């Protein structure tokens, strides 16, 4: 039996056990976007079953009451040619294997969840859940059959784009420095034939279609094309902060009208406009890379170091991060526009996410407390923390044709 098959078999087992009782915890908490470094579970510093500098490891999830996470198979955008596709496929494989190592090494703490029922069964048994999310469909290598292969490996969500246009659709952050048209300009063509094929096949398989990072044109086309609800794993509201990664109100409403959900993301740049902080962070990154003997900054190598920790602490004193209040402002606006049944929660931890008050997974209960202070009921909070996502996931499963 292959490692993937063993993991899938474990996911179907029945469990005995209970979680510690916290009177104020919602029924289940699901973070739909958690990144992992390429060296995840390969280097001791990234062994998520032990205390680490990662913002999400199993101990932080358990301590903070974060029950489930969508772990991300992300690859950076390369050229749209054979070499670029091959590299993207290889990089994605590293992350699939890393998630597999986590699940095989710590089956008494975390299990794969490929269905909402598996996720809830894990939670009932006192276990954490991992679901696999593809970020940047470019990693499919322009081969629709790789979407089926990803499904077989446990992926249940496919993000169409990332930073820079790819072979599926245009991005909300195109590479304009190298000639890609700006979003909503005449050259912003939206979705390609391959992107349309990916949406169609995802519907047939019962995979969630994620429009975070996609251009407005791509989001609109995905909404019209998909036969199932679509969702955004980690986005915000452009009306609250004018950033291209945030969604305008008309698209928030359109996703809701389709039955989908938009998961509000705790990412600093989508919550607070602070170019001065961005500038000094860039200076720090370059300095740390240079001190280590490298020409360029690398997040996997440089972010999880004492030098970065110290430098960021100094930056925080002068240029404080967005706060839970800023995050609540986004959530409240999104709920007002899309409705309480169509908003969720995401961190983007270990991918740039993290704010004052929710700096890592151990502080997850602070989000629940902040929601209560803003007047959200227990029923509302249960929807935001996982109920809405589970409903959409079930509808996507129901409509599958495979």
pLDDT digits (tens, 9 = 90+) for 279-291: 999 999 999 999 8
Is there a single domain that holds both residue 165 and residue 196? yes
Q: Look at residue 196 in the predicted model and tell me its pLDDT.
A: 98
Q: Look at residue 402 in the predicted model and tell me its pLDDT.
A: 63
Could you tell me if 369 and 29 are in contact, meaning their C-beta atoms sit under 8 angstroms apart? no
Q: Which two tokens stand for residue 260?
A: 């989908």
**Exposed e or buried b per residue across 60-91, where buried means at least 16 C-beta atoms within 10 angstroms of its C-beta:** bbbebbbbbbbbbbbbebbeeeeebbebbbeb
CATH of the domain at 45: 3.20.20.140
pLDDT digits 0-9 by tens, 353-385: 999 999 999 999 999 999 999 999 999 999 999
Mean pLDDT of 17-32: 70
Could you tell me if 136 and 161 are in contact, meaning their C-beta atoms sit under 8 angstroms apart? yes
Residue 22, pLDDT > 60, answer no
Name the percent of the chain lying above pLDDT 70.
94
Q: What SS3 state is found at 136?
A: coil
Is there a single domain that holds both residue 181 and residue 258? yes
Is there a single domain that holds both residue 350 and residue 247? yes
Is there a single domain that holds both residue 258 and residue 336? yes
Mean pLDDT of 127-138: 98
Q: Which of 258, 289, 320 is the last residue of a domain?
A: 320
Poorest-confidence range of 4-8, 28-32, 245-249, 301-305? 4-8
Quote the CA–CA distance of 198 and 14 in Å, as a whole number: 33
Residue 125, pLDDT > 90, answer yes
Is there a single domain that holds both residue 230 and residue 120? yes
Q: Which of 288, 320, 352 is the last residue of a domain?
A: 320
Quote the CA–CA distance of 349 and 361 in Å, as a whole number: 8
pLDDT digits 0-9 by tens, 161-220: 999 999 999 999 999 999 999 999 999 999 999 999 999 999 999 999 999 999 999 999
Mean pLDDT of 337-355: 98
Q: How many independent structural domains does the chain possess?
A: 2
Quote the CA–CA distance of 241 and 249 in Å, as a whole number: 12
| DSSP codes, 220-247 | HHHHHH-SS--EEEEE-BTTTS--TTSB
Could you tell me if 95 and 74 are in contact, meaning their C-beta atoms sit under 8 angstroms apart? yes
Please indicate whether residue 11 or residue 90 has the higher confidence score (pLDDT). Answer: 90
Is there a single domain that holds both residue 60 and residue 148? yes
Is there a single domain that holds both residue 284 and residue 392? no
Residue 224, pLDDT > 70, answer yes
When the pLDDT of each residue in the chain is averaged and rounded to a whole number, the result is 94
Query: From the CB of residue 176, how many other CB atoms can be counted at a distance below 10 Å?
Result: 12
Q: Look at residue 330 in the predicted model and tell me its pLDDT.
A: 98
Is there a single domain that holds both residue 178 and residue 193? yes
Segment holding 317, helix H or strand E: helix 306-318
| Res. 5 pLDDT band, cuts 50 70 90 | very low
Is there a single domain that holds both residue 115 and residue 25? yes
Poorest-confidence range of 10-14, 66-70, 171-175, 292-296? 10-14
Residue 24, pLDDT > 90, answer no
Of 334, 346, 264, residue with least CA distance to 32: 346
Residue 343, pLDDT > 50, answer yes
Is there a single domain that holds both residue 126 and residue 238? yes
Is there a single domain that holds both residue 237 and residue 294? no
Within 13 Å of residue 355, how many CA atoms lie on the same side as its CB? Answer: 23
Q: Which of 290, 320, 350 is the last residue of a domain?
A: 320
Of 350, 354, 109, residue with least CA distance to 367: 354
Q: Which domain holds residue 128?
A: 3-272+322-398
Residue 309, pLDDT > 60, answer yes
Is there a single domain that holds both residue 210 and residue 251? yes
Q: Look at residue 401 in the predicted model and tell me its pLDDT.
A: 82
């Amino acid at each position: 039996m292959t490692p993937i098959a063993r993991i899938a078999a474990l996911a179907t087992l029945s469990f005995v056990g209970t979680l510690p009782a916290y009177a104020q915890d919602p029924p289940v908490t699901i973070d739909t976007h958690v990144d992992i470094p390429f060296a995840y579970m390969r280097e001791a510093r990234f062994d998520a079953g032990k205390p680490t500098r990662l913002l999400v490891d199993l101990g932080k999830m358990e301590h903070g009451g974060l029950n489930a996470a969508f772990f991300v198979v992300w690859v950076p955008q390369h050229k749209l040619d054979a070499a670029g596709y091959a590299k993207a496929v290889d990089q994605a494989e590293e992350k699939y294997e890393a998630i597999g190592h986590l699940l095989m090494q710590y089956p008494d703490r975390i299990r794969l969840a490929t269905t909402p029922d598996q996720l809830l069964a894990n939670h009932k048994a006192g276990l954490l859940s991992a679901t696999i999310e593809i970020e940047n469909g470019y990693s499919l290598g322009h081969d629709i059959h790789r979407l089926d292969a990803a499904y077989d490996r446990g992926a249940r969500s496919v993000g169409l784009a990332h930073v820079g246009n790819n072979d599926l659709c245009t991005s909300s952050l195109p590479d304009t420095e190298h000639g890609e048209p700006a979003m909503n300009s005449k050259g912003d063509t939206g979705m390609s034939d391959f992107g349309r094929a990916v949406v169609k096949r995802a519907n047939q398989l019962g995979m969630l279609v994620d429009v975070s990072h996609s251009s407005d044109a791509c989001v609109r086309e995905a909404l019209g094309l998909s036969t199932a609800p679509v969702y955004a794993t980690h986005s915000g509201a452009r009306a609250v902060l004018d950033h291209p990664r945030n969604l305008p109100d008309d698209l928030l409403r359109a996703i809701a009208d389709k039955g989908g959900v938009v998961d509000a993301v705790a990412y600093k740049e989508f919550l607070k406009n602070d170019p001065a902080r961005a500038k000094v962070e860039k200076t720090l990154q370059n300095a740390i890379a240079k001190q280590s003997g490298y020409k360029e900054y690398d997040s996997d190598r440089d972010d999880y170091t004492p030098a970065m920790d110290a430098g960021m602490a100094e930056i925080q004193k002068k240029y404080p991060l967005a706060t839970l209040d800023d995050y609540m402002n986004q959530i409240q606006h999104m709920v007002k526009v899309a409705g309480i049944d169509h908003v969720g929660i995401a961190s983007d931890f270990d991918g740039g996410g993290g704010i004052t008050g929710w700096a890592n997974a151990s502080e997850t209960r602070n989000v629940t407390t902040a929601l209560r202070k803003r007047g959200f009921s227990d029923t509302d909070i249960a929807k935001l923390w996982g109920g809405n996502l589970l409903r959409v996931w079930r509808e996507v499963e129901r409509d599958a044709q495979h």
